[in-house]
A and B are shown apart, each in its own frame.
Chain A
Amino acid sequence: MPASNPEPAPISALRDDGSVDSAHAGALSGELAVALFEHMVLARAFDERLVALQREGVVSQHASAIGEEAAIVGAAAAMHDEDWVFPSSREFAAALWRGMPLAAYAHHVVGSRRDVGHGRNAPDPPFWKAARVVSVSPLSGSHVPHAVGVAWAARTQKHDVAALLYFGEGATSSGEFHTGLNFAGVLGAPVVAFCRNDGRALSTSASQQTASASFAVKAVAYGLRGVRVDGSDVVAVFGVVRDARARAAAGQGATLVEAVIPGVEAADPVAKLRRHLVAQGLWDAERDQRLAGEVHVDVERAILEATAAGPPPPETMTSDVFAASEREGETAT
């Protein structure tokens, strides 16, 4: 697997005036661009609501993804339906894009009796099996080898299935990041390792995580390809991940994508995409109003449903420890 040096500057596609760099023209259809925008607006609205719900104590915690919507949604959209997605703490919008119902996510964050995980997990990441969004623990980096194992298993069975693996840049300091990407390189597993470099690993800055010139450059050590992309630019993210997915499926190995996220004040990914859509004649103020109304209703309805459902029944504490938990729990104690 020939290793190439990562791009020194992140790849970008969307210009400030809303036009697209010629190298990326046509990467996204107008229809998909609008769908991505609508989903990013939904993600932003739900996120803002979750920030408020956390302050009210309705949900115990929330890792906000405001300003990261382009990276999260753009990467998810670039994968195929049959691919597997491993979220980390900020990827609820990827699960929703893949088909997790809004209410199901609300049941998860509230820990309601209708949560598919029986309210066992504190908020994020969510999982949704029908969309192959996998159950991941909040221990940073722990899921890296899981994605490699899924991808490698699919490859040995000659399935056209790749794994999209999300993580924040803090996870690159974990042992599992190293061992997982090393296994990915050695096994040739079709993985897109997607690092959101948002500088938001709680209080720790990027320079406190690594002395490397970038996070993408770490790919070189594993014989993988490393690419940096502007994480506020959904067109660029979509193109880079689609390309990485194609290479993985073609047996050319995994790619480590570093999505550099400037932060919502420096570059708002939703506003950036909106400028593009308006320039293309695909969006206007009237559609803003209509979308805002729909999103408000959908989010409030989901939260109302979840908060009204009540907590899970006590017997769910002891089920699912083993396949036949109740019996063994009784026998053993």
Chain B
Amino acid sequence: MTHAIDTQSNVKTGNATSMNLVQAINDALKLEMRRDPRVVVLGEDVGKVGGVFRVTQGLWDEFGDDRVIDTPLSEGGIIGTAIGMALYGMVPVPEIQFADFIFPAYDQIVSELAKMRWRSGGEYTAKMVIRTPVGGGIRGGLYHSQSPESLFIHVAGLKVVCPSNPHDAKGLLLASIRDPDPVLFFEPKRIYRAAKGDVPEGDYTVPIGKAAVVREGNHVTLLAWGAMLYEAIAAADEARKQGIEAEIVDLRTLWPVDVDTIVASVKKTGRVVVVHEAPRTCGFGAELVAIVNEKAFDHLEAPPARVCGFDTPFPYALEMDYLPLAHRILPAIVQTAKY
């Protein structure tokens, strides 16, 4: 997990510090809480301890009980209370300790948060950023490893973000907190500390809804995000040895997805492979393939391929067999390129 990647974006010239994902997210939270007194953090163990992954470390010391709240153990209560705080004009950034724990709050997110603006004709809004660690590869077993992004993308009214590197994590989190709509901010926990890179000091944003072409190529398009981006890169490195040049797109924002970048790339390569950790059936890959079919059908030279988790719960002992790692992506690249 050491592939350093350079994602082009609107970096301001100036000082930068090498950080991992945890540090970059923490840096963004501190910056925004200093800038905007409406921003509050709440969740289980986010205060004195700084969260189980230490993402909120130091916030309670600086901002105190009223802005960094250790809550009772109830995800529905965390999101439901945050909705009330947002109605009153605060900007909550609740943490759900693991994305797997988000389901007790699913009703609040789906039935209340996502629909508040629409059902009230824009009179009431409850914008917030729900941060939560996502994905497998940390020996977490089936209740600490899941990738539930498509269950939220399917719900009208939610934005869904998943950064792959510290630079994007800080810039996307700042953009998310300033966005007028509710955002689910999925943090790929397998690379929390492994993904390192230069993070500009101070304020900058990475726009929501914009993918990044992290490597250009002419033979096949790889669509990936989060921790699996690095597996896609590793597989592309191997494919290159066989003369296949893959173009790699880091989606960064899953919804609203950057249709233009995806379609432009597929029109160029004529071939597409989607990689994600979540189960294949009705995973986000299904929607991505549908978008490609609808918008670039005449350019396709091969059937779109998906390399995904299996249609099973997430396993503990066999997690490395479950994850769509580079050795599973490579054959899909080769088959698609040579179809």
Contacts and interface: CB of A to CB of B under 8 A. Distances in A.
Interface string A119-152: 0110000010100001101010011111111111
B150 interface: no
Given A182-B74, A183-B71, A152 B80 contact: no
A205 interface: no
A129 B81 contact: no
A320 B80 contact: no
A145 B76 contact: yes
B72 A186 contact: yes
B236 to A, nearest CB: 27
B119 A182 contact: no
B257 interface: yes
Contact of B84 (A120, A129, A150): A150
A121 B88 contact: no
A127 B180 CA distance: 21
B180 A153 contact: no
Interface stretch (B106-114, B226-234, B318-326): B106-114
A49 B107 CA distance: 34
A332 B256 contact: yes
Contacts of B180: 322-324
Interface in B109-162: 111-112, 115-125, 156-157, 159
B80 A331 contact: no
Given A139-B107, A331-B256, A120 B121 contact: yes
A149 B128 CA distance: 13
A38 interface: no
Given A129-B124, A179-B72, A180-B80, A149 B119 contact: no
Contacts of B259: 331-332
Interface in A87-139: 115-118, 120-121, 127, 129, 134-135, 137, 139
Interface in B251-273: 255-257, 259-260
Interface string B271-305: 00000000000000000000000000000000000
B72 A153 contact: no
B84 A148 contact: yes
B306 to A, nearest CB: 20
A116 B256 CA distance: 27
A156 B125 CA distance: 20
A144 to B, nearest CB: 7
A146 B80 contact: yes
Contacts of A1: none
B181 A118 contact: no
Contact of B81 (A148, A320, A324, A332): A148
Given A117-B119, A120-B119, A175 B88 contact: no
A81 interface: no
A21 interface: no
Interface string A312-333: 0000000111111000100110
Contact of B72 (A150, A183, A319): A183
B80 A149 contact: yes
Contacts of B123: 116-117, 127, 129, 135
Nearest to A130: B123
Name which of A135, A175, A324, A332 has the most chain B CB atoms within 10 A of its CB. Answer: A135
Interface in A288-333: 319-324, 328, 331-332
B84 A179 contact: no
B119 A121 contact: yes
Contacts of A243: none
A145 B80 contact: yes
B48 to A, nearest CB: 15
Nearest to A138: B111
Contacts of A187: 69, 81
Interface string B78-119: 011111111111100000000000001001100110011111
A310 B257 CA distance: 36
Interface in A142-201: 142-154, 156, 163, 175-176, 179-180, 182-183, 186-187
A277 B256 CA distance: 60
B31 to A, nearest CB: 21
B51 interface: no
Given A145-B79, A150-B87, A183-B81, 11 more contacts: A84-B88, A134-B87, A135-B119, A145-B80, A146-B84, A179-B76, A183-B71, A183-B77, A187-B69, A187-B81, A332-B257
Interface of B: 66, 69, 71-72, 74, 76-77, 79-90, 104, 107-108, 111-112, 115-125, 156-157, 159, 180-181, 209, 255-257, 259-260
A-B pairs, top 5 by smallest CB distance, nearest first, are A149-B84, A145-B80, A179-B77, A323-B180, A153-B88
